[in-house]
Amino acid sequence: MGKLLKYELRKSLGVKGVVLVISCIFELLFLIGLYSSKETLIPIGITLLYFDAFISVVVMGIASIRLLHNDLNTKQSYMLFMTPNSSYKILGAKVIESFMSILIAGVFFTSLGFLDFTLLIAQNGGFKEAFDFIYTAYQKIFEIEINPSDVISVIALLLISWFYFITVAYLAQVISATFLNGRKFNGIISFFIGLAIIILEEYAVNNFVSISATGSVINHNILQGVVYLTLAGITYAVTAWIMDNKLSV
Amino acid sequence: MKFNPNAPIYLQVIDALKLDIINGRLSPGEKLPSGRDLAVRYTINPNTAARVYQELERQGICFTKRGMGTFVTNDADRISECRNQMAKEVLDTFLVSMKELNISKDKAIEMINESDDIWMI
Amino acid sequence: MLESINVTKKFLNKTAVEDVTMTLEKGHIYAILGPNGSGKTTWMKMVAGLIKPTSGTIRLDGKEIDIQSRKEIAYMSTEPYFYDWMTIKDVGKYYNDFFEDFSMERFAYLVNEMSLEMNLKLKTLSSGMMAKLKIAATMARDAKIYMLDEPLNGIDLIARDEVMKTIITYANEDKMLIVSSHLVEELEMIVDTAIFIKNARLQGIYGLESLRINEGISIADKYREVYGKC
């Protein structure tokens, strides 16, 4: 399993490298703006980093789905399936790699955000006043208390739900490569199957969570996160079972 | 080596080895390549190579020393006997062909005498 | 001993292998012959545990083929399948990571023997070099069964000789080699038995020498006889 994981990491290295380099460039823009006279670079850097964070997580996920597609449908598939490893292990390594990548990216971008925010305040007192003003106004209008742990729980939930989406996309890929293999439009059909699974489960999850969750934002988010992780686990097990029984390499 | 597609391969390799022994390219008592090396040398199946040595041993042209390998026989009589046998086979083929060409034995002998003397070259 | 018992594989709209029953023994090099699309590759993939038969069983030494059988069966596909970011050395490391029977020393020896170099990037390899690399990686395993799917496809004469030499060198009484080809003549000398597959079915099994002794013909002649009339 460790070795499978090692190669999954190696295969996704390219995308991660690109993400890191781009993020570094944007961060550099921000820092140059902060510590030089070119202040216009500050908002540019922040905006770019903000979108970069989202897009990076999305791109990494899509890249991992694409990688699975290649590992199932191209000659490259022998590399995994000639080894004495079950589909549970082969897919397991991919799921763990995805989860870890999303987690690390989440921690990386959140930390970077907090760091840049702190630097900004330290460098520019006026910004703190402006931020405090917006923050209080926001609290008055929506009558809710925002604290860092809530923010983190929202980010974590976003990441977990994205991870769950990826496992469903894996399932769709495997369905496309097994039951629909050789049929017309198998890519599109499997995409809609995946979409249908997500919509149905999303509907069920929202009902379940709104009934069960009580009180704070955090409680709500934790419950929803646990539900998503459970669903991801189930999706993984179903996907691996199909691979084990129906896949023709 | 180019093989005749209609004759068993092991027999063809046997003939090639016998020729080497008769011509002295392989000396009496000399160690022969291992079965695997023989297979690689002639690009043949290792089982075919093993069969070659079995057959040569059965005919008394080779012998095997346990753990040492296969060697060419030291028996000079056996080698010359082998030469005669092969010559006989070639001669038989030659005679049959001549007969098919409607050439008499005397005419054939005459033709041999008149032919270019490749022994002198 | 490898047993294929009533093995059938059906795909969506065609039967790739139909009711193939045969027993193969260790210590032999088998040629599995037939035109493209006759079912050779599908049968080999089932033996390799890459595909499950629709019906029938395949057993290695009495045990049905499963994922663990991949530890004892080395399968080499026709097309190159290595990751394109790899160097030759990476390929060795990959096999070393996943196969207990793989020997890095033997791999290094074969790579050298085939005039390749460890630090070559796969992207730069010619098709002949790639074919040699696949053989080196596969034969550097100490497997019970080696299955080589079209190892001579698309490679030049020199590479061909090197591949044949490697096959002969590592065949012994404890190993079974199954080599597929649609180029019969090239394979004929190094095998001892030929398995003919025709239209997904087993047409016949012929011994190289017994064909020559009994019928005075080569495997290639037999091939023409069997496939010529269709």
Run of H or E residues at C59: strand C55-60
Residue C3 φ/ψ, nearest 5 degrees = -115, 130
Regarding whether A132 and A33 lie in a shared domain, the answer is yes
C133-187 pLDDT, tens digit per residue, is 999 999 999 999 999 999 988 788 888 888 899 999 998 889 999 999 877 888 8
Task: List, for residues B88-121, the tens digit of each pLDDT value.
Answer: 999 999 999 999 999 999 999 998 888 877 776 6
Q: Counting Cβ atoms within 10 Å, is residue A95 exposed (0-12), middle (13-18) or buried (19+)?
A: buried
pLDDT at A140: 76
Residue pairs spanning A and C at CB distance below 8 A? 55
- Specify the amino acid at residue C24: L
* Contact assessment for residue A45 and residue A134, using Cβ atoms and an 8 Å cutoff: no
Q: What ipTM was estimated for this complex?
A: 0.88
What average pLDDT does range A68-82 have in this prediction? 92
Shortest CA gap B39–chain C (Å): 7
User: Residues A136, A157: one domain?
Assistant: no
Q: Which residue of C has its CA nearest to B2?
A: C189
> Nearest-CA residue of chain B relative to C31?
B45
The two three-digit tokens of residue C220, written as one number: 């290639």
Cβ neighbors of C112 (< 8 A, separation 6 or more) are none
Domain limit, last residue, from A116, A146, A176: A146
Question: Which of A146, A173, A197 is where one domain is finished?
Answer: A146
Name chain A contacts of C75, Cβ cutoff 8 Å. 78, 82
Mutation for testing the B interface, residue in C168, C172, C206 having most B CBs under 10 Å: C168
Region C2-227: CATH code? 3.40.50.300
Mean predicted lDDT score pLDDT of chain C: 92
Picking from A10, A71, A78, A246 by the largest number of C CB atoms within 10 A of its own CB, the best residue to mutate is A78
Predicted pLDDT of residue A144: 67
- State residue A33's pLDDT score: 86
Compare CB distances from C190 to B7, B36, B44 and report the shortest one's residue. Answer: B44
A137 and A159 belong to one structural domain: no
C16 and C10 Cβ atoms separated by less than 8 Å: yes
Q: What percent of chain C has pLDDT over 70?
A: 99
- Residue B83 · residue B28 · CB < 8 Å: no
Q: Where are the domains of chain C?
A: 2-227
pLDDT, position B14: 95
Closest in A10, A84, A245 to C67, CB measured: A84
Q: Are C139 and C166 in contact (CB under 8 A)?
A: yes
Q: What is the pLDDT of residue C230?
A: 52
Is the Cβ–Cβ distance between C193 and C31 less than 8 Å? yes
Residue ranges of alpha helices (H) inside chain C are 40-47, 88-98, 104-113, 127-139, 157-170, 184-188, 208-210, 219-227
Cβ-defined contact of C220 to B36 (cutoff 8 Å): no
- Residue A244 reports pLDDT greater than 70: yes
Q: What range does the domain containing A212 cover?
A: 148-249
Q: Residue B67: pLDDT band by 50, 70, 90 thresholds?
A: confident
Contacts with C, B 20-49, CB within 8 Å: 36, 39-40, 42-48
Q: For residues A96 and A169, state if they share a domain.
A: no
Mark whether A92 and A114 lie in a shared domain.
yes
Query: Does the pLDDT value for residue B20 go beyond 90?
Result: yes
Domain count, chain A: 2
**Which residue type sits at C47?**
V
Tokens of A15: 């995308």
Whether C2 contacts C175, CB under 8 Å: no
pLDDT in tens, C40-92: 999 999 999 999 999 999 999 999 999 999 999 999 999 899 999 999 999 99
Note which residues in 146-205 of chain A have CB less than 8 A from chain C. Answer: 181-183
Contacts of B36 in chain C (CB under 8 A): 168-169, 172
Mean pLDDT on C101-116: 94
Residues A120 and A17 in one domain: yes
* Minimal Cβ distance to C50: which of A10, A86, A249: A249
Nearest to C149 by CA among C70, C30, C44, C2: C44
Average pLDDT, chain A: 87
Q: Which of B47, B48, B52, B55 is most worth mutating to test chain C (most C CB atoms within 10 A of its CB)?
A: B47
Q: How far is C12 from chain A (nearest CA, A)?
A: 7
B5, amino acid identity? P
Measured between CB atoms, does B56 come within 8 Å of chain C?
no
- CA C11 to chain B, closest CA, distance in angstroms equals 36
Residues of B within 8 A of C27 (CB-CB) are: 47
- Model confidence pLDDT, tens digit, residues A123-147: 777 777 777 777 777 777 776 667 7
Q: What pLDDT does residue C49 have?
A: 92
Contacts with A204 (C-beta within 8 Å, 6 or more apart), sequence order:
none
Residues A41-65, mean pLDDT to the nearest whole number: 90
Banded model confidence at residue A214, pLDDT cuts 50, 70, 90: low
A13 plus A103 within the same structural domain: yes
Shortest Cα–Cα distance, C187 to chain A (Å): 25
- Is the confidence at residue A218, as pLDDT, over 90? no
* B73 DSSP 8-state letter: -
Residues A128 and A22 occupy one common structural domain: yes
Domain boundary among the residues A146, A179, A212 is at A146
